[in-house]
């Protein structure tokens, strides 16, 4: 027996199919977004090099020596200070510091 639809039933069926397609597309977009964000937000493990402080050397000079060319050494000074648990930028000769490398 053939089933006959009225216009209202056909319209509701089409809306139902459209809703399913939109929901599937939204789920796919959310899945892809979480994958992309998980890749970009994954922290990179910081690498360090040990540096022995020489007589008369300052944290600023160490940072300048190990910073990328043209980079502002202030950021590296702070990173060195934090990585080594220093409360200030004062260093002593013979002290071994972990200096972040890029």
The CATH number of residue 83's host domain is: 3.10.350.10
Q: Are residues 20 and 35 in the same domain?
A: yes
Q: How many domains does the chain have?
A: 2
Which tops the pLDDT comparison, 3 or 85? Answer: 85
Q: Are residues 96 and 52 in the same domain?
A: yes
Q: Are residues 6 and 36 in the same domain?
A: yes
Q: Are residues 38 and 71 in the same domain?
A: no
Is the pLDDT at 4 greater than 70? The verdict is no
Q: Are residues 53 and 77 in the same domain?
A: yes
Is the pLDDT at 8 greater than 70? The verdict is no
Instruction: Give me the pLDDT at residue 5, please.
Output: 61
Q: Are residues 51 and 89 in the same domain?
A: yes
Phi and psi dihedrals of 48, rounded to 5?
-130, 155
Q: Are residues 80 and 65 in the same domain?
A: yes
Q: Which domain holds residue 95?
A: 47-101
Tokens representing 15 are 């809306």
Cα gap 16→21, rounded to integer Å: 9
Q: Are residues 37 and 5 in the same domain?
A: yes
Q: Average pLDDT in the 72-86 region?
A: 94
Q: In this structure, how many other beta carbons lie within 10 angstroms of the beta carbon of residue 51?
A: 17
Is the pLDDT at 63 greater than 90? The verdict is yes
């Amino acid at each position: 027996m053939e089933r006959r639809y009225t216009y209202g039933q056909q319209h509701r069926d089409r809306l139902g199919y459209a809703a399913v397609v939109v929901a599937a597309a939204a789920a796919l977009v959310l899945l892809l977004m979480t994958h992309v964000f998980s890749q970009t937000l994954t922290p990179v493990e910081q690498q360090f090099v040990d540096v022995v402080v020489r007589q008369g050397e300052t944290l600023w000079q160490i940072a300048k020596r190990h910073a990328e060319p043209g980079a502002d050494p202030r950021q590296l000074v702070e990173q060195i200070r934090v990585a080594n648990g220093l409360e200030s930028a004062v260093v002593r000769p013979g002290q071994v510091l972990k200096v972040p490398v890029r």
